[in-house]
Amino acid sequence: MSLTVRDLTEIPFLRTRVFAGAGGEQNRILWAHSSEVAHPWEWLEAGDLLMTVGLGVPPEPEAQVHFVESLAAVGVSGIAIGENMLAPPLSDAMVAAADRLALPLMWTALEVPFIQVSRTVAAASRGPEHLRLVKTVRIYDSLRAAAIRSSTPAELLEALGREIDCELSVCTNDAGRAVFPDARVPEAEVLKAFLDATASRGNGMPGILRIPVGERTALVVPVPAQRPVSLLAVPRGSEFPPYSILQHVATAAALEVERLFARREEARRFGSETLAHLLEGRLSTAAAAPQLEAHGLGSGPFALVISHRQDDPNGWVHHSLAERSVPNMLRRSGELLYCLVPADEETIGEVLDILDVEGTTVGVSDSFCLLEALPDAVHEARWALDTARAEGRRSARYGERLLVGGPRSVGEARDLIDRVLGPLIAYDRERGTDLVNSLTVFLRCNRSWQQAAAELFVHKQTLVYRMRRVEELTGRKLNDTETIAQLWPAIRALEILR
């Protein structure tokens, strides 16, 4: 039988006495836990006795009241503070709060080690701990049975939820999406509260987070997996499952999460290899058909999305696509991410939404059915990507103009290059000169002779000579605004197609 607070204080060798909150002397102590963290209520549960030398007790009266109220809210049975140790002066407001909430505040004599208190509580709590052990065994038995029956993760969560009388979900911390296909999705109100709580905490999550949702409370426990995901538990009744039991449920969920992530990683790797062969022209549509089918892409039509990312936050693009059920093949090459997806508007919208992060630009090709057309799609997507970057946008689609009067397509780009830069390209090829690059640098430097010459590592007069040759070969004057309006789009088009 577990001890009460009064029982504990009546054990002479523990030398512990209540000095506030005496109305809670009948509170039962199921476990005794020593902690010095600033928010111990995020690590404790109902029936726990908090033992502290005082480091975690705040010095300000208002903060001390919040400290007591937060611990009382989770059902802590009492607070035992080491006497004459490191606690700040305890305010009258803190004492009054403890009396009001019937949360016993106790002094434990300096010479009594907290481990002695813990052993006494543990010895008296063998019965309740045995029940927890039985519940833990049943959780892992459910996991074993699910493996034997080849149950889905969603079915396992339902079984575990029945075991602890909770509605269970496993969701990503960043978007709140259900990790497992066909699994329970939290109610909108619960999901919003969860996302607000995770957003306010960044990457740091406590052992257990209690989120008020109307008149209910949702419990959030981090799932130990490679991606930040959490177990959401909404009790069906009025009693909360013990924290230790929730940890075991989270561990069982983590096993399923890692299995799922391993399958996704294998699919991503095979998809990347297949897409690499397609991009290099070493695989036909027919030969790639089995992989296309395995990745849900079918026989098209397809679109190619190219993303220029300064980084890939946590490397989870393929997980985000999978969580939205977006069929895909991904291939990273340098700073570019190539993504082959179905060409329907809904799918492309999902992809653009996933890639819509700071420091990222995206280009989308036109749709195509035969994968032999993939090299052209690469040009189209690169053209759209550069359009977005030039205009300071997050994304662009093939066919949009780069600049007023600029080309809308690869075909138009080639015509513009031939018409405007053709003589320079031919001259460079025949004579081994560098007129096109010199012109590009000159215009990029806003026709500053000194700056452009320094960037090209040539004398200013050498650059003057080269630009005169450009004017002779193109029949255009570089001090003419209309000329610049023709040359610059042609140069940008050439850079993209190269």
What does the pLDDT profile of the chain (498 residues) look like in tens digits? 578 899 889 888 889 999 999 999 999 998 899 999 989 998 888 899 999 999 999 999 999 999 999 999 999 999 999 999 999 999 999 999 999 999 999 999 999 999 989 888 887 766 555 555 556 677 777 777 777 787 888 888 888 888 888 889 898 888 888 888 888 888 888 888 888 888 887 667 777 888 888 888 888 888 888 778 888 988 888 778 887 788 888 888 888 888 888 888 898 899 889 888 888 888 777 888 888 888 888 887 999 999 886 555 446 788 888 888 889 999 988 888 999 999 888 888 888 888 887 678 888 988 888 888 888 888 888 888 887 877 778 888 886 654 445 566 667 778 888 888 999 999 999 999 999 999 999 998 989 999 999 999 999 999 999 999 999 998 888 888 888 888 888 887 787 666
Q: Which domains does the chain have, with CATH numbers?
A: 3-124 (3.40.1390.20), 128-259 (3.30.450.40), 280-397 (3.30.70.270), 410-497 (1.10.10.2840)
Q: Is 352 exposed, middle or buried (0-12, 13-18, 19+ CB in 10 A)?
A: middle
* Residue 301: cis peptide before it, omega within 30 degrees of 0: yes
Please, how many CA atoms are within 13 Å of residue 436, restricted to the half-sphere of its CB? 22
Give the pLDDT confidence score for residue 125 in this predicted structure: 66
Give the pLDDT confidence score for residue 139 in this predicted structure: 75
Cβ atoms of residues 390 and 436 within 8 Å:
no
In this structure, what is the dihedral angle of CA atoms 234, 237, 239, 244, given to the nearest 10 degrees?
Answer: -40
Please, how many CA atoms are within 13 Å of residue 65, restricted to the half-sphere of its CB? 7
Residues 291-336: pLDDT tens digits? 888 888 888 799 999 988 655 544 678 888 888 888 999 998 888 8
Give the pLDDT confidence score for residue 404 in this predicted structure: 45
Amino acid (1-letter code) at residue 286: A
Nearest to 424 by CA among 438, 436, 439: 436
Give the pLDDT confidence score for residue 73 in this predicted structure: 92
